[in-house]
């Protein structure tokens, strides 16, 4: 089943972006009157009839039905805060895979040891939408642009189930052994790890240090591993 993405929905009509319209007509060779399916990233699934109103114009879809899907436990609960890697391809790969696993939000952190200080958020959002359609899901994660490590921590409303994965030899609990029954926030540091100052600040604010196994993982691998552990806990409990 081919899925299209749109947030341009008015009354009983939906409009595809020019890019989605070109893909629909040129690549998939859809024609006027064909039935297509679309999602809006907010839990809604639409079925409708194509209405082609002219060349180089957004494709219009006359909606026939709408179904709303609630988020599952793992989709609404795992919040990742991560320092972007120097190699942008690794972050793009991470976005794709964590969307497939149902991450709720991703915040990019500006840490002391960051090797990258800018991100193409428009490209990352396109990758997230593509992954959402490919994995046939209905909720698009929130992608939040770079913000300082300190402002992110101080802006949190609660410190319940907040964790930091770092490489220092401090006492840490295995994330696999943590008992989770609600949403959680996971901090993943840059390739040079969090600074001692950042680790102290996070733990003083209530973040619990956790281990992600015996091996030292790349930033993006650590993030995906943590997301997978979180999802597996709810899957085993029968919640998603």
pLDDT band of 53, cuts 50, 70, 90: confident
pLDDT band of 231, cuts 50, 70, 90: confident
Residue 91 domain flag: yes
Quote the CA–CA distance of 13 and 8 in Å, as a whole number. 8
pLDDT band of 66, cuts 50, 70, 90: very high
Quote the CA–CA distance of 153 and 171 in Å, as a whole number. 21
- On whether both 63 and 150 belong to a single domain, the answer is no
- Is the pLDDT at 164 greater than 90, yes or no? yes
- On whether both 110 and 57 belong to a single domain, the answer is no
User: What pLDDT sits at residue 235?
Assistant: 61
Tens of pLDDT, residue by residue over 184-193, are 999 999 988 9
Q: The domain containing residue 63 runs over which residues?
A: 3-68
Residue 73 domain flag: no
Tens of pLDDT, residue by residue over 12-38, are 999 999 999 999 998 989 999 999 999
User: What pLDDT sits at residue 212?
Assistant: 92
- On whether both 19 and 83 belong to a single domain, the answer is no
pTM of the full structure? 0.89
CATH of the domain at 15: 2.40.240.20
- On whether both 142 and 120 belong to a single domain, the answer is yes
Quote the CA–CA distance of 218 and 19 in Å, as a whole number. 34
User: What pLDDT sits at residue 73?
Assistant: 54
User: What pLDDT sits at residue 107?
Assistant: 96
What is the overall mean pLDDT for the chain?
Answer: 90
- Residue 101 φ/ψ, nearest 5 degrees: -85, -5
Percent of the chain with pLDDT over 90: 70
- On whether both 91 and 207 belong to a single domain, the answer is yes
User: What pLDDT sits at residue 239?
Assistant: 43
Helix (H), strand (E) at residue 182? none
User: What pLDDT sits at residue 240?
Assistant: 43
User: What pLDDT sits at residue 57?
Assistant: 84
pLDDT band of 237, cuts 50, 70, 90: very low
Spell out the residues 6+ positions from residue 226 whose beta carbon is closer than 8 angstroms to its own: 80, 165, 175, 186, 188, 212
- On whether both 59 and 82 belong to a single domain, the answer is no
Quote the CA–CA distance of 140 and 20 in Å, as a whole number. 17
- On whether both 85 and 61 belong to a single domain, the answer is no
For residues 92 and 234, which has the higher predicted lDDT (pLDDT)?
92
- On whether both 36 and 152 belong to a single domain, the answer is no
Mark which of 68, 89, 117 sits at the end of a domain. 68
Quote the CA–CA distance of 86 and 117 in Å, as a whole number. 9
């Amino acid at each position: 089943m081919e899925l299209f993405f749109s947030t341009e929905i008015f009354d009983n009509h939906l409009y595809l972006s020019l890019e989605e319209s070109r893909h629909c007509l040129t690549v998939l060779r859809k024609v006027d009157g064909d039935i297509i399916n679309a999602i809006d990233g907010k839990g809604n699934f639409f079925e409708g009839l194509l209405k082609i109103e002219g060349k180089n114009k957004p494709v219009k879809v006359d909606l026939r039905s709408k179904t709303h899907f609630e988020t599952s436990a793992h989709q609404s609960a795992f919040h990742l805060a991560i320092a972007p890697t120097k190699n942008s391809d690794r972050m793009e790969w991470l976005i794709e895979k964590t969307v497939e696993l149902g991450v709720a939000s991703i915040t990019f952190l500006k840490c002391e040891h960051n090797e990258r200080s800018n991100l193409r958020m428009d490209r990352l959002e396109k990758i997230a939408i593509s992954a959402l359609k490919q994995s046939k899901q209905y909720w698009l994660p929130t992608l939040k642009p770079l913000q300082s490590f300190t402002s992110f921590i101080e802006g949190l409303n609660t410190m319940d189930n907040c964790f930091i994965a770092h490489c220092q030899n401090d006492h840490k609990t295995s994330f696999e052994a943590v008992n989770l029954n609600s949403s959680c926030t996971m901090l993943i540091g840059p390739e040079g790890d969090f600074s001692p100052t950042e680790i102290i600040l996070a733990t003083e604010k209530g973040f619990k240090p956790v281990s992600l196994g015996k091996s030292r993982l790349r930033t993006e691998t650590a993030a995906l591993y943590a997301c997978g552990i979180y999802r597996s806990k709810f899957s085993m409990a029968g919640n998603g």
